[in-house]
Amino acid sequence: MSRQASIPLPGGRAVKRLGYGAMQLAGPGVFGPPRDHEAALAVLRAAVEAGVNHIDTSDFYGPHVTNRLIREALAPYPDDLLIVTKIGALRGDDASWLPAFEPDELARAIDDNLTKLGLETLDVVNLRLMFNARRPAEGSLTAPLKAVADLQRQGLVRHIGLSNVTPTQFEEARGIAKIVCVQNQYNLAHRDDDAFIDTLAAEGVAYVPFFPLGGVSPLQSAALSDVAARLKASPMQVALALLLQRSPNILLFPDTSSVVHLYENLAAASLTLPDDAVAELDVIGR
């Protein structure tokens, strides 16, 4: 598995399978400014210098924090850099996560992302469903997705993805717009989307796990630690390598605010897990 391995997107863009997630650059609870402004800029610059061409962000991180950092650190952007953002939520004054599905809210979110990033068009916009903020839950996405598709027709969005969705919602979405990616929670211990990943792979749709390393509760397992020790790798590298081997349509964007952890994460792209290690790890999530 090569760090240079990539997934083609419509329009001829190729995205390397291991990218970078900017969420942790905001303050505690993804709210407020970073603990260390200069360190946040350094991580973003190190990611691009290391060859990352896929950054995941949202203007509701902070809010407005990570997008401003990305612009300060990286603009003018490299030609091959794909910036992926999310809309569909707002942050309350108490740091709560609130649904924002109305057409005017979605249009404002697009404008906020464009303005803070300093772009005229957003490469990929994921519509984040909030029927349940913690997990996919059924509910019609037709109205909000039609609003996003209208913004795409206006030239403000190149590609549309979905986040926190069920297979039923994905099928509903396909009748409204071309969907290039699905972003759901998936990692070593959270494997609910196994069948969904296979469906998307057959359709040529990228699957992008969020919390690939566990999110606020980092992955911990004796089996994971044992495999990592045998392979002379870190547990987090093994966890990422497992996802890369799971299916060729998987893209990863592990979040970190540390340059050291950034390099550690990127090294996972060159780690190949033997079959017995994969079998041992697969038991954890099932």
Token pair of 121, please?
A: 């068009």
Q: What dihedral do alpha carbons 210, 213, 219, 223 form, nearest 10°?
A: 120
Q: Are strands 54-56 and 20-21 parallel, antiparallel or unpaired?
A: parallel
For 208, counting Cβ atoms within 10 Å of its Cβ (0-12 exposed, 13-18 middle, 19+ buried), the class is buried
- Residue 165 CA to residue 133 CA, distance in Å, equals 11
Place of tokens 């350094």: 42
What DSSP line would sit under 63-114, residue for residue? TTHHHHHHHHHHPSPPTT-EEEEEESEEE-TTS-EEE--SHHHHHHHHHHHH
Helix (H, G, I), strand (E, B) or coil at 152: helix
Q: Which residues are catalytic?
A: 61
Beta bridge partner(s), residue 187: 190
